[in-house]
A and B are shown apart, each in its own frame.
Chain A
Amino acid sequence: MTEGPLVAVLDYGIGNLRSAQKALQRVGADARLTSDHALIADAAGIVLPGVGAFGRCVEALEVSGLTETALETASDAAAGGRPFLGICVGMQLLFEESAESPATKGLGVMAGRVERLSGDVKCPQMQWNRLDVLKPGELLAGLPEEAWMYFVHGYAAPVGPDTVATCVYGSPLCAAVRRGNLWGVQFHPEKSGTTGLTLLENFVSTLVGVR
């Protein structure tokens, strides 16, 4: 097997990180679950997964000593540096704060507050939903015209200038954001079948030649 680009999947002791790692490996990355600063520094790209409550993820990141690293690498990506992908709560962590855990602060690389889903819908959204792609960019290029992804979340980031895809659940929600080489997706590409794998393959493709 040829060695793909090194992807550091930040391991801060929460949830099922294995599936993100396995999906990235499937699309050719040398994906490692790690909290090792040297390895993270060597990686061509960074993935920040996240499940559970916002506050608990913030806390776990802190306990693992990864808050500064996550903030620095995400900020660097936003400024055009090494690509960084936040998944689910990992995307929400990029924002300033969340209604789910008002006492804790997010990384604040993206402006705004994550809010609870509203409208005449069940919360959480736990289902597949169709993306409305606003700006495909490298990450969302080559997806099927009807791209369906798997969502599990009770809160969502605000739709704003960095939003590159939405989905409708009660109202249009922010499904994906992008600034520079910083991406965040509310859905789980690692659990969205071949469509999700295509997105991850796109992410890995941006890493070739990074290092």
Chain B
Amino acid sequence: MKTVRVIPCLDVDNGRVVKGVNFVDLRDAGDPVELARRYDLEGADELIFLDITASSDSRQTTVDMVSRTAEEVFIPFTVGGGIRSVDDARAILRAGADKVSVNTAAVEHPKLISELAAEFGEQCVVVAVDARRSTDVDSGYEVFTHGGRRATGIDAVAWVARATGLGAGEILLTSMDRDGTRDGFDTPMLLAVGEAINVPLIASGGVGSLDHLIDGAVAGRADAVLAASIFHFGEHTIGEAKDRLEAGGVAVRPARC
């Protein structure tokens, strides 16, 4: 049976969660480990930490955060942001992360994907793709890098096919058109990308309501749905998200088990 995973995403800057986390009963809403524990207890299926730290000399801060998380959280977690080499990935995985996510570095050096897969196994390698609607490429979806700021001229559908061919074990697809809008996932894009791959697809970008999660799983046929603000601001719990998905005909792991 296929069960859809619900994945909260935490943006981390210099070891602290950013992008307004607003839980009433957290001592320190900025501590990624405390927030991760909270999501684990609520029934999150996985977690993704996106390290948006600008300076490269604070990599150690990220490694320390990963290590502390691994002491406390016993569900899978992925770490992305700033991973440019096999050595970067090794430091993160050794500290206890289950997967690493690569984005810009993979577009610039696709060989990085095969190197990571050969070293750690495909199941460890998530390729994150930021894409926008565009008339400049055949599929109508263009890859952007550098946090969605730089157009590449690369077709997103062709890119995911190539990335999985090189050893990507999972694709995290973010719609830059929808990210932050709360208008829901770009489901036609999810479908177009999903058809090009045979590895799991994580839908990202645009979730503003629980029904959007159902759209991602049903209309977009995603294997996992990622959201940030609806969970961080305490609007909805993971349990509510799963109840709604189940009511919408999507099989999930129950939040309490």
Contact = CB atoms under 8 A, between A and B. Distances in A.
A16 B253 contact: no
A118 interface: no
A15 B254 contact: no
A56 B123 CA distance: 14
Contact of B40 (A22, A153, A188, A193): A193
Contacts of A124: 122-123, 169, 199-200
B3 A16 contact: no
A111 interface: no
B70 interface: yes
Contact of B200 (A56, A122, A150, A192): A122
Interface string A35-72: 00000000000000001110010000000000000000
Contacts of A168: 1
Contacts of B179: none
Contacts of A192: 74-75
Contacts of A196: 74
Interface string B60-84: 0000000000110011100000000
B1 A16 contact: no
Interface string A1-34: 0000000000000011011001100100000000
B78 to A, nearest CB: 11
A19 B75 contact: no
Interface residues of A, number: 38
Interface stretch (A76-84, A101-109, A125-133, A157-165): A125-133
A23 B73 CA distance: 9
Interface majority SS (helix, strand, loop, mixed), chain B: loop
Contact of B121 (A18, A19, A53, A121): A53
Interface in B180-200: 198-200
Contacts of A56: 121
Interface residues of B, number: 33
A191 B75 CA distance: 4
Given A148-B253, A190-B74, A191-B76, A16 B96 contact: yes
Contact of B198 (A16, A122, A148): A122
Contacts, number: 98
B223 A193 contact: no
Contacts of B122: 124
A197 B74 CA distance: 8
A22 B96 contact: yes
Contacts of B232: none
Given A126-B223, A195-B257, A52 B120 contact: yes
Contacts of A195: 257
B245 interface: no
A146 interface: yes
Nearest to A123: B198
In the A-B complex, the 5 residue pairs with the closest CB atoms: A52-B121, A128-B253, A148-B253, A152-B123, A18-B96
Contacts of B1: 129-130, 168-169
Contacts of A188: 76
Given A190-B74, A191-B98, 13 more contacts: A16-B97, A51-B124, A52-B120, A124-B169, A126-B123, A128-B45, A144-B257, A146-B257, A147-B257, A148-B254, A168-B1, A169-B1, A191-B76
A126 B123 CA distance: 8
